[in-house]
Structure 1
Amino acid sequence: MPEAPAEASQKLPVTCWFAGLTTLDVIHRSAVRPGPNQKITAVRQDVSAGGPAANAAVTAATLGARALLISALGTGSVGSAARGDLERHGVEIHDTAEGREIPLAVSAVLVDDATGDRSVVSPDATLTDGLDVSSADLDALPRPDVVLLDGHHPDLARSVLAYANALEPRPLIVLDAGRWRPVFADLMGAADVTARSADFRAPADVARSPATVATHGAAPVTWCDDDGRRGATDVPTVDVRDTLGAGDAFHGALVVALAQGADLEAAVAEAVRVASLRVQYVGPRSWLENLSCA
């Protein structure tokens, strides 16, 4: 992987870009799951911004990084609600749909009150496909130490990747690979680190990143760095209250640690710490009060 800037090793503030999806999450917590044609009463409701890139940016900002989200929000009421939540949590936004009203995705989330498991129904980025960003726009942004791509908005991902590859010094590129999408065929070989879920499967002919991280739920996180060194990082046993966004928290913390100059093993350990904290708290943002860089 490219070397982190000299100042990063001193844990001075770092700049991280998060390019990808923003949604508005409407989250209901329920003691039972509804059956066909059944209505139930939730025990709790939350509304917040969601999406892999957006949630990772919130985590990074809370950890003290300069977190810049490159995403499409637009001027509509749904985008305004998502923007307000992100800005309240310290995220800077470059809106590729600035000045336009777009049909921003609303995600319907159900969290099981007994187990903390979440179920999500969302159109993701399909309502606003084709949104892009120009090199001139990116030139106006603070230079990143690390760039995370989540694979949503494929044109956006390709443009940000091409721009980052041309920078000197070149930032680290981290790919959030939760579910296979065709755009990953263009991204994986160019990324320095692919952070994937246990369910992620790429076709055999797709180029791989030099370094990989794989999460396996409560089982150890496995990793392989660009020198071929392999390891597994244990996940602590905690009281799981809410799993929504745990993977996004993991990726946000991983990006910040890498930007600060940590090697992959240390960055994974920090990401595990942060994700393990997130699942212990009910609601999408309450856990942030207990998050620190320590």
Structure 2
Amino acid sequence: MILCVGLATVDLVYRVDRVPGVDEKAQARSAEVAAGGPALNAAITAAALGAPVTLVTAIGTHPLGALIRQDLETHDVRLVDAAQDSEGLPPVSTVIVVNGTGERTIVSRNAGDRSFRVPGEGLPDAELTLVDGHHPVLAVAAARAARTLVVDAGTWRPVFADILPHADVVACSAAFRSLDGLTAPDVIVTHGPAPVTWTRDGHTEEIEVPPVEALDTAGAGDAFHGALAYALHAGKPMRDAITEAIRVAGVRVQHPGPRSWLDEL
């Protein structure tokens, strides 16, 4: 089983011809409301590829949380909700996708200052654990207990100082703040459409990213991490796992909308 620990959000997604400027209004071509968040998107990706997946996150009892729960149920992801008694609003993001280029702009408070303890029954046992650094208490507990730990290090957060020493694999973007200090056994760095770099034992190699027409880049990194977790859980060698993650992220960006691309896997 793959255990994903981190953020789940409600995403309001607008598709526009251009991002409006300050004090300017814009008419969206379309609007969608969907579940999102790095850990949730990765969990749904891994489940769509065929892995058994459990997501540990914080949703609560607010009516908007039902949308997140339904999305997870539809895609066969088991949920452990560390906020099951909370009536507060779940994390909400606004995602603006530019029609034609697929570039996205996101406004979000993520989990804000909300903090949730590990559920009384503890965390589920898993062969592989993926954490995104959100919900720090849950993330650190999962990192310490993991058999194999994959870290989605998209954006630097202070909690990574406690998580990274436990990491077997760190997958991050080129903009990650502490890139030079990463010492995990495997460090994978994505560069958008440019080659992915993979470092092991001081040796770095590049893995090509096939060119595709990008229509929607929202969640592409999450898809990469979910596919990487799936491939490693399935026992694939690291280079093959990275190649599979690149393939899946490529499928994701070619399809507008949060979930339609899963049918193409």
* TM norm structure 1: 0.86
- State whether residues 131 and 150 of structure 2, in contact with CA within 8 Å, keep that contact through their aligned partners in structure 1: yes
Structure 1 partner of 2:71 = 85
SS in 2 for 1:274: helix
Aligned-pair Cα RMSD in Å: 1.5
Give 1:239 shift: 0.8
Give 1:131 shift: 0.8
SS in 1 for 2:31: strand
Residue 139 of structure 2 is aligned to residue 157 of structure 1: yes
SS in 2 for 1:80: helix
Residue 201 of structure 2 is aligned to residue 232 of structure 1: no
Give 1:150 shift: 0.3
Map Cα deviations across residues 149-207 of structure 1 (whole Å, 9 max, x no partner).
1001111111112233xxxxxx2100000111111111112100000101002186x66
Residue 176 of structure 2 is aligned to residue 200 of structure 1: yes
Give distance in 2, aligned partners of 1:163 and 1:215.
27
Match of residue 117, structure 2, among 111, 118, 132: 132
Map Cα deviations across residues 223-256 of structure 1 (whole Å, 9 max, x no partner).
023x444321100111110000000000000001
Give 1:112 shift: 0.2
* TM norm structure 2: 0.96
Give distance in 2, aligned partners of 1:188 and 1:30.
38
- State whether residues 144 and 166 of structure 2, in contact with CA within 8 Å, keep that contact through their aligned partners in structure 1: no
Residue 234 of structure 2 is aligned to residue 260 of structure 1: yes
Gaps of 5+ in 1: 1-14, 165-170
Match of residue 173, structure 1, among 149, 153, 165: 149
- State whether residues 135 and 163 of structure 1, in contact with CA within 8 Å, keep that contact through their aligned partners in structure 2: no
* Equivalent residue runs for 1:26-41 within 5 Å: 26-41=12-27
Structure 2 partner of 1:241 = 215
Gaps of 5+ in 2: none
SS in 2 for 1:137: coil
Match of residue 249, structure 2, among 275, 281, 284: 275
Map Cα deviations across residues 69-91 of structure 1 (whole Å, 9 max, x no partner).
00001110121111111211121
Match of residue 192, structure 2, among 217, 220, 224: 217
What is the identity percentage for the equivalent residue pairs of Structure 1 and Structure 2? Answer: 46
Alignment length (residue pairs): 265
Residue 258 of structure 2 is aligned to residue 284 of structure 1: yes
SS in 1 for 2:122: helix
